[in-house]
Amino acid sequence: MEQRKNILFVIGSLAVGGTEKHLLQISKELKFYNITPTIYCLSGDGPLTSCFEKNQIKVIDGSKWTKFFLWLPPKIKGFVFQLCNILQLTAFLYKTKFDIVHSFLPQACIVAGFATWLNQHPYFITSRRSLNHYQKNKIVAPFFETWAMRRSLVILGNSKAVLADLVSEGFQKSQMGLIYNGIEVPTLERQNLREQENIEPETFIFILVANLIPYKGHLDLFTALSIAKNQFSFPWVLLCVGSGDESYLNVLKNHAAELGILKNIKFLGCRHDVDQLYKSANIGFLVSEQEGFSNSLLEGMACGVPMIVTDVGGNTEIVEQDKNGIIVPAKNPSMLADAIKRLVFDAKLCSEFSSRAKEKIMKFYSIKRCAQMYFNLYNNLPTLKEKEGVPLQSIIEGSQC
């Protein structure tokens, strides 16, 4: 039997987000591959901490040192916090032994990059999980992120679009690997939540699972629905699932009120029963202005919800136009409204999208397939380090393991 590997995952927070949920699912699954995952969270605690601990996955508080500097003015607090994070992780790695350190997202990449460098740790991996829009108008953080990524043994992306960004930034293709997100594909019939959410049986349900952030496209969707509703002769509701700050929630409510559709929108906040909500819905959306590769899109398709998505990031790598969903340009409410009307009034097309979507998810995007690819990579890192020219993607996919 292969010797058990101890892997330290470094992440900024354990809030309820796509990356955090992905890490939870992967950590649970990797335990079946003779791997012991440990989570090192730079912000200390979060809503998902208890979920990790419930699955016997240890979570390390990486924020202890920063708590001594809460009194600092905001302008220098961020720098001091980052320095504390680096020093604390460096000390932690010095005292412990992990075979691999794997960071997720930019802040963790920088912190883990410095800590592994100071400890001369040979196996540092980082994951980029979004397009590089977050780097715009910034200089210092992207500089250090680039430095950390260049010294990592492998850079993983979760879509071809993310890898294209990395190439444009000057990274070598030989250093990059692609592992799509994976989800736990529902195998049992899910509970219909219409009654629980006080939604009448004849109501047509739309659903958008996305945190309340401007680039997620809520405003465009509200506008599109206000256009399309003129042809609706039935009651309808849009379920908005996701968290956000109160100020932007008020912006969304005011916009919906101006369009005359506020009564049709339910803001459900953060939910842990997203699959059940999807199961109750007729049509789902992912209408972001930018996207890496979305778990919520996978979840919707796995539950058999016909999806309308925007032509950004990795969306078009899973949704095939007019085969298992509809793709529209981002920031185009008019075309989005046309797509909505098309699906609403074509039950046969919805049914075809539903079956094809579920089939594709089960074949290519299960959490088991995803975890297997991580395992293939982790298990063959020594080969990558010692031998030049070994094709990274073939190792990830198992063809050279």
pLDDT at 269: 92
pLDDT at 1: 47
310 Cα distance to chain centroid: 16
pLDDT at 195: 78
CA distances to 96, 193, 235, 271 from 344, in Å: 56, 20, 12, 26
Q: What is the pTM of this model?
A: 0.86
Q: Is 171 helix (H, G, I), strand (E, B) or coil?
A: coil
> Nearest to residue 209, comparing CAs of 148, 147, 161, 271?
271
Q: Which residues contact 188 (CB under 8 A, 6 or more apart)?
A: none
CA separation for the pair 28, 24 (Å, rounded): 6
Query: What is the identity of the amino acid at 91?
Result: A
Answer whether 125's CB lies under 8 Å from 153's CB.
yes
Write down the residue that tokens 């909505």 correspond to: 340
- Output the average pLDDT for the chain: 92
Answer whether 8's CB lies under 8 Å from 38's CB.
yes
CA separation for the pair 303, 325 (Å, rounded): 13
pLDDT at 99: 95
Query: What is the identity of the amino acid at 291?
Result: E
Query: What string of pLDDT tens digits covers the 401 residues of the chain?
Result: 467 899 999 999 998 888 998 999 999 999 999 999 999 999 988 899 999 999 999 999 999 999 889 888 888 988 899 999 999 999 999 999 999 999 999 999 999 999 999 999 999 999 999 888 877 878 888 999 999 999 999 999 999 999 999 999 999 999 999 999 998 876 655 556 777 888 888 999 999 999 999 999 999 999 999 999 999 999 999 999 998 889 999 999 999 999 999 999 999 998 888 888 998 899 999 999 988 888 899 999 999 999 999 999 889 999 999 999 999 999 999 999 999 999 999 999 999 999 999 999 988 899 999 999 999 999 999 888 777 767 899 999 986 65
SS (H, E, C) 143-172: HHHHHHHHCCCEEEECCHHHHHHHHHCCCC
pLDDT at 189: 59
How far does the chain reach from its first CA to its final CA, in angstroms?
15
> Nearest to residue 361, comparing CAs of 302, 321, 288?
302
> Nearest to residue 150, comparing CAs of 181, 178, 113, 183?
113
Domains of the chain, start order? 5-182+366-396 (3.40.50.2000), 204-364 (3.40.50.2000)
pLDDT at 187: 62
Q: Which residues contact 372 (CB under 8 A, 6 or more apart)?
A: 33, 398
Residues in the chain: 401
Q: Would the CA dihedral through 365, 315, 259, 227 be positive or negative?
A: negative
Q: Could you tell me the two tokens for 173?
A: 């293709």
Query: What is the identity of the amino acid at 39?
Result: I
165 Cα distance to chain centroid: 17
Output phi, psi for 104, to 5 deg. Answer: -125, 125
CA distances to 38, 59, 129, 213, 299 from 86, in Å: 18, 17, 21, 29, 35
Write down the residue that tokens 């994976």 correspond to: 182
